[in-house]
């Protein structure tokens, strides 16, 4: 198997209302089954624009968490406003979003906004955003692609952040290996592979994080198109999530001890 991944050059500073699909096709010639990977921050900028931190009035709870974490209370309030549940509150905020995605600070980012009073949120419905972009690419080029929207997140047990998928349209999220034989015809150990996150991580590596301005990548050579897909396939059910239950217990103990 031979796969290539490249980034698009000269992406302009994205502002609200920008047509990301058009920006893509002006910079590359897509091929059938290409996977277009887009950084969540530019999707959010195109959809919502920047959000002012001072539009979030800190509650008592936000002020208290901010004090513990040495953070801006308005930022903490923004995180709480965009979270369904907090898994860890200190020394950092690990939360679950409405979508089911779990990440630090609800994915809210102060970088690449131009000032410390503006932030980008994650797209409200990243699957929908991916679908819109995929539809627009099809409309503009006639070509069927997959679209993945990614963010950079930390992990349990390991240092460093990696790219992960937060929205998808048109390609599989999980490959189901059940029923596939190993080299000797026996049952495979690995049942489910999160191929979408494996794509997301590599695209993130090429995109970089700073002022390289390469928030869009294309992966060419994979055959992963799928009509039926959702980012929710990647999220563990809370009742099946041992680690999440342990964090919940930890939080309960911490509040009893206060």
Q: Find the binding residues for its own copies in span 8-27 (CB under 8 A).
A: 13
Q: Which stretch binds its own copies (CB under 8 A): 31-39, 45-53, 69-77, 233-241?
A: 233-241
Helix (H) / strand (E) element for 153: namely: strand 146-153
Of 40, 82, 83, 112, the one binding its own copies by CB under 8 A: 112
State which of positions 53-92 bind its own copies (CB under 8 A).
88, 91-92
The residue (of 4 and 60) whose beta carbon lies closer to its own copies is 4
16, 89, 105, 121 from 76: Cα distances, Å: 24, 10, 8, 13
Of 139, 147, 190, which Cα lies nearest the Cα of 167? 147
Cα distance between residue 116 and residue 84, in whole Å: 25
Within 55-145, strands assigned E span 85-88, 94-96, 102-104, 118-119
State which of positions 127-156 bind its own copies (CB under 8 A).
152, 155-156
Of 114, 128, 223, 226, the one binding its own copies by CB under 8 A: 114
Cβ contacts of 55 within 8 Å, gap of 6 or more: none
State which of positions 183-202 bind its own copies (CB under 8 A).
183-190, 192-195, 197-199, 201-202
Bridge-based pairing state of the strands 192-193 and 175-176:
antiparallel
> With binding defined as CB under 8 A, does residue 252 bind its own copies?
no
Of 92, 98, 137, 90, which Cα lies nearest the Cα of 121? 98
State which of positions 89-108 bind its own copies (CB under 8 A).
91-92, 94, 102
> With binding defined as CB under 8 A, does residue 223 bind its own copies?
no
Cα distance between residue 229 and residue 148, in whole Å: 11
The residue (of 32 and 198) whose beta carbon lies closer to its own copies is 198
Q: How far is the CB of 135 from its own copies (least distance, A)?
A: 26
The strands making up 35-39's β-sheet, listed across from edge to edge, are: 146-153, 35-39, 216-220
The residue (of 16 and 245) whose beta carbon lies closer to its own copies is 245
> With binding defined as CB under 8 A, does residue 2 bind its own copies?
yes
Cα distance between residue 253 and residue 85, in whole Å: 17
Q: Which stretch binds its own copies (CB under 8 A): 63-71, 74-82, 132-140, 171-179?
A: 171-179
Q: Which stretch binds its own copies (CB under 8 A): 19-27, 61-69, 133-141, 169-177?
A: 169-177
């Amino acid at each position: 198997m031979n796969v290539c991944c490249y980034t698009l050059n000269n992406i302009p500073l994205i502002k609200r209302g920008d047509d990301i699909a058009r920006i893509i096709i002006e910079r590359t010639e897509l091929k059938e089954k290409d996977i277009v990977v887009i950084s969540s921050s530019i999707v959010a900028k195109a959809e919502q624009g920047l959000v002012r931190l001072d539009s979030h009035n800190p509650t008592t709870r936000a002020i208290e968490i901010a004090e513990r974490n040495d953070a801006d209370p308005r930022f903490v309030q923004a995180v709480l406003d965009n979270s369904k549940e907090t898994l860890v509150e200190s020394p950092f905020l690990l939360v679950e979003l409405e979508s089911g995605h779990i990440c630090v600070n609800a994915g809210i980012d102060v970088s690449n906004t131009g000032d410390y009073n503006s932030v980008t949120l994650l797209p409200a419905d990243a699957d929908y955003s991916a679908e819109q972009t995929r539809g627009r690419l099809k409309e503009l080029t006639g070509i069927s692609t997959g679209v993945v929207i990614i963010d950079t997140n930390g992990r349990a047990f390991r240092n460093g952040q990696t790219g992960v998928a937060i929205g998808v349209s048109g390609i599989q999220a999980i490959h189901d290996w059940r029923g596939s034989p190993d080299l000797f015809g026996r049952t495979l150990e690995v049942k489910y592979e999160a191929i979408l996150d494996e794509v997301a991580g590599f695209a993130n590596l090429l995109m970089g994080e700073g002022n390289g301005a390469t928030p869009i990548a294309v992966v060419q050579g994979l055959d992963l198109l799928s009509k039926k897909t959702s980012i929710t396939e990647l999220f563990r059910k809370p009742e099946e999530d041992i680690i999440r239950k342990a964090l919940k217990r930890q939080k309960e103990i911490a509040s009893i001890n206060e």
